[in-house]
Amino acid sequence: MIELENYKLKELPNSVYYIPNFITSEEEDELLKKVYSSPKPKWKALSNRRLQNWGGLPHPKGMIQENLPQWLTDCIKKVQNLKIFQSCEPNHVLVNEYLAGQGIMPHEDGPLFYPTIATINLGSHTVLDYYEKLSDSSDINSSMENKYVGSLLLERCSLLIVQDDLYSKYLHGICERMADTIDKKIKNIHLCKVQNGSEVIRSTRISLTIRHVPFTRKAKFLFGIR
């Protein structure tokens, strides 16, 4: 039984938990096989990464609910045992693939989701950076540096849980680089295998972000059919 409070990080705003070795290397291998054996139409290519949506496509008018495959259902059950979603049942998984050097601009997940996310990391580490929200977007590059609050090292097979203030009041992003220097900016270094001062080379990373979408609809209502 995992005692979640043992993995709560107090160095960042409330609330974030980091659990190393949440899954085994064998489970990681099996999940990667399932991701890469998914039908090609499941992949959506973006400018800086590609992704898969499972469970439906989140939409302000409601997500058309789709059944999750068994390999993701098993994964969700392991996360759900932590009781982080309260009485809600996770119903959506976003699969992101990041090649070495790829990242994502600081952003928020927004109100379409219950304010808890759980991310399982596969294949490679990454460094996730957190920022206060901008009050003025006129000069985002210089402003983001001033809003920086800290970073997390996400190692292979780990689980990251974000909720409460850190979910709703802050932005998160991944810088585009080939390697990461581990220093005092990493707020969960005490839970990681990597030593302070190390340089860690990135490779291809798969993230499984597990969420609950509260607002779902049947297809006929979404498209105005009565």
Q: The domain 4-134+142-216 belongs to what CATH superfamily? A: Alpha-ketoglutarate-dependent dioxygenase AlkB-like (2.60.120.590)
Q: Is the predicted pLDDT of residue 113 greater than 60, yes or no?
A: yes
pLDDT tier at 225, thresholds 50, 70, 90: very low
For the chain, give every domain's residue range: 4-134+142-216
pLDDT tier at 54, thresholds 50, 70, 90: very high
Q: Is the predicted pLDDT of residue 12 greater than 50, yes or no?
A: yes
Whole-number pLDDT of residue 222: 47
Tens of pLDDT, residues 100-110: 999 999 999 98
Query: Mean pLDDT in the chain?
Result: 92
Whole-number pLDDT of residue 219: 67
| Share above pLDDT 90 across residues of the chain, in percent, rounded to a whole number | 84
| 24/212 Cα distance (integer angstroms) | 25
pLDDT tier at 226, thresholds 50, 70, 90: very low
Whole-number pLDDT of residue 146: 86
pTM confidence score = 0.92
Whole-number pLDDT of residue 165: 94
Number of alpha carbons in the 13 Å side-chain half-sphere of residue 188: 27
Tens of pLDDT, residues 145-196: 789 999 999 999 999 999 999 999 999 999 999 999 999 999 999 999 998 9
